[in-house]
């Protein structure tokens, strides 16, 4: 069961599941308790979908670009840094780093938001790069929808890790 004795404790425990967007978990407080992780993620995903386009874009834009340097990029928080490290993005060669930077810039120029992918499920840096290249062909609506799906997957993985600890 997912619950907490009060709203502040609930937000303190789960507020970072969505990158710099604790408003989602704060809104989910009203629906607790949740029977399990799947019910909680379904509720938070619904909150995001019902929040409107401006809030959705704000959520997407709260995510750091991939392959940024922890300790150098102030937007790259500890959870994101650990997730990116797990996918090998902290060990890019200079050439790979330059390629990711160019792809990130092309993506941002096309969609006005960072590329978001659940790196914990993506299959490593080569698969992430291939997904980035493929998703550059999407329409803006397709890409916004895909980014939100990826954000839900990120939150689900973070929640799984939180509940396991």
The catalytically annotated residue of 19, 44, 63, 155 is 63
Name 2's Cβ contacts closer than 8 Å, sequence gap at least 6. Answer: 14, 32, 33, 34, 35, 36, 37, 39, 40, 163
Is 63 considered catalytic here? Answer: yes
Alpha carbon distance 80, 66 (integer Å): 9
With contact defined as beta carbons under 8 Å apart, do 79 and 16 qualify?
Answer: yes
With contact defined as beta carbons under 8 Å apart, do 64 and 76 qualify?
Answer: yes
The pair of three-digit structure tokens given for residue 105, joined into one six-digit string: 């810039």
**Annotated active-site positions, please?**
63
């Amino acid at each position: 069961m997912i619950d907490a004795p009060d709203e502040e404790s609930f937000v303190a425990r789960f507020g970072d599941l969505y990158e710099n967007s604790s408003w989602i978990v704060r809104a989910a407080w009203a629906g607790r308790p949740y029977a399990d992780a799947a019910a909680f993620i379904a509720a938070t995903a619904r909150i995001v979908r019902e929040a409107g386009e401006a809030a959705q874009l704000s959520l997407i834009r709260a995510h750091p670009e991939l392959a940024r340097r922890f300790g150098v990029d102030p937007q790259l928080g500890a959870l994101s840094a650990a997730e990116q490290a797990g996918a090998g993005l902290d060990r890019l060669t200079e050439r790979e780093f330059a390629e990711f930077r160019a792809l990130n810039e092309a993506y941002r120029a096309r969609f006005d938001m960072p590329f978001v992918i659940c790196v914990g499920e993506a299959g490593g840096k080569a698969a992430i790069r291939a997904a980035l290249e493929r998703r550059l062909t999407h329409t803006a609506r397709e890409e916004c929808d895909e980014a939100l799906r990826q954000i839900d997957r990120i939150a689900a993985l973070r929640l799984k890790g939180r509940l396991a600890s």
